[in-house]
Structure 1
Amino acid sequence: MAGEKKEKKHLFLEWLLTVMAIFFVLAVCLSAAYWRYSEKYADKIYPGVHAGRYDLSGLTRDEAKSIMNQKTDIIHKQGIIFSHGQYRASLFPLISSVEGDLAYRIFDFDIEKNAEDAYAFGRKGGFYDNLKARLRSLLIPYRFDIYYIINEKEAEKFLNENFSRFVESAKDARLVINAADANNLKFSIEAEKIGQSIDYQKTVDLLKRNLGILDNNPIEVITDIDYPKIYESDCLNIESQAEKMLSAAPVSLAYGSDVWQVNFSHLTDWIVLRPGPGTGQEDKVVVGLDPAKGKRFISEWVAPKIDRPAQNAKFEIKDGRVAEFQASRDGLELNINESFDRLEAELREGRNRVELVVGDKKSALQTEEINNLGIKEIIGTGHSNFSGSPANRRHNIKTGANSLNGVLIKPGEEFSLITTLGNIDKEGGYLPELVIKDNKTVPEYGGGLCQIGTTMFRATLKTGLPVTMRRNHSYRVSYYEPAGTDATIYNPWPDYKFINDTGNHILIQARIEGDDLYFDFWGTRDGRKAETTEPVINNIVKPAPTKFIETLDLKPGQKKCTEHAHNGADASFDYTVTYADGKVEEKTFKSHYVPWREVCLIGVEKLSTDTATSSPEAIPR
């Protein structure tokens, strides 16, 4: 009996040792496999990782960027084609400028982020999370969309410009007024009509889907039936409402002692039918005012007499001291929406006087805040040269510099260049440049402001501040050499932003000396040291041959071209900030420039094609 127990114990120990040996061997094998796998892909993207429809398995980050850049360059050259029936229009990422300084993106890709995200897969979590992610991607590929940025407003504008010819808007039943004055009113109802619309948002959503997978296949524009909102059969007993509103004419819009008149002819033109608040037959349709016409009247004829923009205090350095050269001033602003609503409400009651709604507009920086700003010395200077600039460009550079001169940036504030520049239009003092849209030249504002953006970027680097938003130009431009040290801006996007983390105010001082633009940042040194390496330029690509675009804007045979072609390239430099406490922040700024070919408009008597294009090339500002 004892022998049997001893033998069973011996067998159990043998079994236990065997199981432990097997587990040990498996653990060693798995550890070795994991180590070999990790070593093999130490600087590579793990298997099963896809960006859009492209497999990045086993590639280094630079190889992944190269593949994705090749695909984005194709989209830059060929664009995205939209179609409706036989009509086709090509949307390109960039709008180009004839004078060589105004170009802006409609959409763009962040290939650097895509490559980093692909490489981070299977590395960014804890040990078990990373192991699970790597094993799962071997069985089920991990796919992520390409990171892109799109100006949806500009994309919809392109679609509207090219496909609005196929839109036939629904027409609501409308009230027709035949009257010489309020005493001889005659009303009739014009019947509704069903139309056809283009769903711009859904079409842009298809564009976004294609951008997310780097797909430039044609997109069919989405159309829909456009139903009217108001039907003739629902227009019951509306004459009395219209008569009551018209009987109030003329109506006085009042602010203080100032009065503006809305007369009888205005009201007969503005009166419209609207869906009513109820579901009963009697209140399905009500009489109101056309918001577009009423608000346009208030905006154009009344607001300019009332509005007074707020003015921030501005400062300059005189004899080593901060001196104010522009006092702060609160402003006034007419609330157009609320004033229109009040006008409509008073008319419904038959009243003919409306008190306009006006509010105060506080300045962001008050004069009394000038004390203890901590502005003692220059802490960084940015510089750029604009030799060879035409007159309009020089004017815009000076205008932009003047608007920034004396601006104070508060401690901790994120500075937005677009916001600070304000209105970039005629009212802001800027001059237009011509851009190529379809086969026409169209004036747009903003030329020269990338000189401002680039100089501001360089001042930020010299000061050692954290940059939170910066985009390089899509093409290299001589104004901004060396390549990689530029920053493009265009209202409303892209912007240039940085944070004042010095703990004190920063005062911007702008100066122009000949063909040189400088931004001096005044503040208090906090012991940080900023360093940048020289840009490294590689992957130079020759541009395609000159592209000719037929136009009816020029005389037959006449030619108008953009500036000379530029090679494409990649550029990068390192930015290192060492703080007084020894902390070090490092960042590499990388720029990808696509090759830009010369674009020429050539005058013809008749266009040879019905194909529209937003222009496949662009000249950076």
Structure 2
Amino acid sequence: MKYRIALIPVLLLALLVVPKNALAEVNPGSLLLKTDFRIWQVDLKNVDLTSTYTKARFKGIDINIPEDQLSYVTPYIDYETVEGLDIIKLQTYLENKIAPDIYREREDVTINMDEKDKVAFEGSGLYGRKLDTKKAAFMLKKAIEEKGNYLHLPLINDPPQITLKGEGLKEKGIIELVSAGETEFKGSPENRINNIKVGLSKFNGHFISPGEEFSFGNVLGVVDETTGYKKELVIKGDRTVPEYGGGLCQVSTTAYRAVLASGFPVTQRRNHSYAVSYYAPTGLDATVYPPTVDMKFVNDSPAYILMQSFTVGTKAYYNFYGTKDKRKVHLIGPYYYNQKSPPPTRTEYTTKLAPGEKQVLGHAVPGISSSWYRQVVYEDPKKEPYFESIHSNYQARPDFIAIGAEKEVSSENSMIEDGY
């Protein structure tokens, strides 16, 4: 299956290599609408986006005639009733179904720094955003007509106003919002939410110096009950087990999204062993399990980066403040392939449970592979563009049940540490 992708830079097209046998995660007759933070699948068969209209053309020639010129050529034209995409219906659909999920008011921020470089934030610093529905409607019309699979939606962003209090901030180059990342953790249990909030607090106010390789694990520090964490499920090998810090991958994944948007080079990142719904869209997650699994990147900007990390409702956020160098970042994808159904239910018998008692050790998850592509183009023409292929393989997992018995019958696989 060939892909048609709207509005991709020419240089990226020259470098893009799609995995063999790649298939879009779209049903036939569907189209993916995407931003850097969310994807919507539109089933074109079940949406009324067309209207009938009268088409005027010269006899024997398929050329549309503007209405204001019809009176001059009436004897030479034919009329026919046709059905086609209705730009008003397209725009209305976007306004009703997509725009509300995107819209956000700008929230300004005041950054305070004392003489010991301790930082405090007043306000979230979230940039405002809204869908450019008129432009998006014309782009959607073009994408449907050309049988495209993906359309990156045009947004109108409103950067936050930043007030600085503390002379050292400007000296470090903290003058504007460089990038932001966000994820959704709706449906998380109480302990997981606690761990997400505690984890985010470890990075709030952290500085990354120019040229520094940032290590998520080093800044995160110790993860146990003494540092505020509670036990929640983590992925370890072939099962999920409760450990202190379960849910911290929500924190690392949110940071990773901000890194991707900033254009900073990623030096270490690993995806989860299977796809986790909290980290949609699939393929842009970053698991951590210090000290063996980390997420690292290099601040190759001309100034310090100041991290702000917090939650609002059921969303986690990172803001990176610093000085922009006018680099352009293009994130292309997703491509999904190697889809696999979950294996048959797996059963393990254990003496750790009362005879007949059951415990769920894992839920069925389909397997899939994903590819995204990131291109960073710098203002300096002498600096080579940075191109990154982000490939992730996710295992198919079965329903996994432990049953209490008088004798152990284990089906355990090797316990490879995966992540929080």
**TM superposition shift of 1:562:** 3.8
1:321 to 163, 173, 176: 163
Determine the C-alpha separation between the residues in 2 that align with 1:438 and 1:406.
34
**TM superposition shift of 1:607:** 1.5
Tell me if the contact between 1:539 and 1:569 (Cα under 8 Å) persists in the aligned partners.
yes
User: CA distance change for structure 1 residues 457 and 474 in 2, over 3 Å: closer, same or farther?
Assistant: same
Aligned equivalent of 2:372: 573
Tell me if the contact between 1:413 and 1:499 (Cα under 8 Å) persists in the aligned partners.
yes
1:446 corresponds to 2:269: no
After superposition, residues 335-374 of structure 1 pair within 5 angstroms as 370=169, 372-374=171-173
Aligned equivalent of 1:595: 396
Aligned equivalent of 2:174: 375
Tell me if the contact between 1:440 and 1:553 (Cα under 8 Å) persists in the aligned partners.
no
One-letter amino acid of the structure 2 residue matched with residue 417 of structure 1: F
1:501 corresponds to 2:343: no
After superposition, residues 4-83 of structure 1 pair within 5 angstroms as none
Aligned equivalent of 1:418: 217
One-letter amino acid of the structure 1 residue matched with residue 119 of structure 2: F
**SS of corresponding position for 1:504:** coil
Aligned equivalent of 1:406: 205
Aligned equivalent of 1:585: 386
Determine the C-alpha separation between the residues in 2 that align with 1:424 and 1:563.
23
**SS of corresponding position for 1:560:** strand
- Which sections of structure 2, spanning at least 5 residues, go unmatched? 1-16, 21-115, 123-160
User: CA distance change for structure 1 residues 439 and 568 in 2, over 3 Å: closer, same or farther?
Assistant: closer
**SS of corresponding position for 1:456:** helix
**TM superposition shift of 1:313:** 4.0
Report the RMSD for the aligned CA atoms in angstroms. 3.1
Tell me if the contact between 2:351 and 2:408 (Cα under 8 Å) persists in the aligned partners.
no
User: CA distance change for structure 1 residues 597 and 612 in 2, over 3 Å: closer, same or farther?
Assistant: closer
Aligned equivalent of 1:607: 407
One-letter amino acid of the structure 1 residue matched with residue 391 of structure 2: K
Tell me if the contact between 1:572 and 1:591 (Cα under 8 Å) persists in the aligned partners.
yes
Determine the C-alpha separation between the residues in 1 that align with 2:190 and 2:404.
26
1:556 to 344, 347, 355: 355
Aligned equivalent of 1:485: 284
Which structure features the higher share of strand residues? 2
Tell me if the contact between 2:237 and 2:417 (Cα under 8 Å) persists in the aligned partners.
no
Which structure features the higher share of helix residues? 1
Query: Which protein, 1 or 2, shows the higher relative CO under an 8 Å CA cutoff with sep ≥ 6?
Result: 2
One-letter amino acid of the structure 2 residue matched with residue 584 of structure 1: P
Aligned equivalent of 1:530: 329
One-letter amino acid of the structure 2 residue matched with residue 489 of structure 1: V
Tell me if the contact between 1:439 and 1:551 (Cα under 8 Å) persists in the aligned partners.
no
Deviations 1:588-615 (A, max 9, x none): 10111111112112122x1144x57356
Tell me if the contact between 2:309 and 2:317 (Cα under 8 Å) persists in the aligned partners.
yes
Determine the C-alpha separation between the residues in 2 that align with 1:493 and 1:601.
28
Aligned equivalent of 2:3: none
Determine the C-alpha separation between the residues in 2 that align with 1:499 and 1:378.
17
Percent identical among aligned pairs is: 41
**SS of corresponding position for 1:613:** coil
**SS of corresponding position for 2:307:** strand
User: CA distance change for structure 1 residues 562 and 527 in 2, over 3 Å: closer, same or farther?
Assistant: same
TM-score when normalising by structure 1:
0.40
**SS of corresponding position for 2:202:** helix
Determine the C-alpha separation between the residues in 2 that align with 1:514 and 1:402.
16
One-letter amino acid of the structure 1 residue matched with residue 293 of structure 2: P
**SS of corresponding position for 2:223:** coil
Determine the C-alpha separation between the residues in 1 that align with 2:18 and 2:334.
20
Determine the C-alpha separation between the residues in 1 that align with 2:240 and 2:253.
26
User: CA distance change for structure 1 residues 408 and 441 in 2, over 3 Å: closer, same or farther?
Assistant: closer
Count of matched residue positions in the alignment of Structure 1 and Structure 2: 271
Tell me if the contact between 1:437 and 1:615 (Cα under 8 Å) persists in the aligned partners.
no
**SS of corresponding position for 1:488:** coil
Aligned equivalent of 1:395: 194
Tell me if the contact between 2:186 and 2:314 (Cα under 8 Å) persists in the aligned partners.
yes
**SS of corresponding position for 2:249:** helix
- Which sections of structure 1, spanning at least 5 residues, go unmatched? 1-59, 64-311, 325-367
**TM superposition shift of 1:432:** 1.6
Determine the C-alpha separation between the residues in 2 that align with 1:439 and 1:62.
27
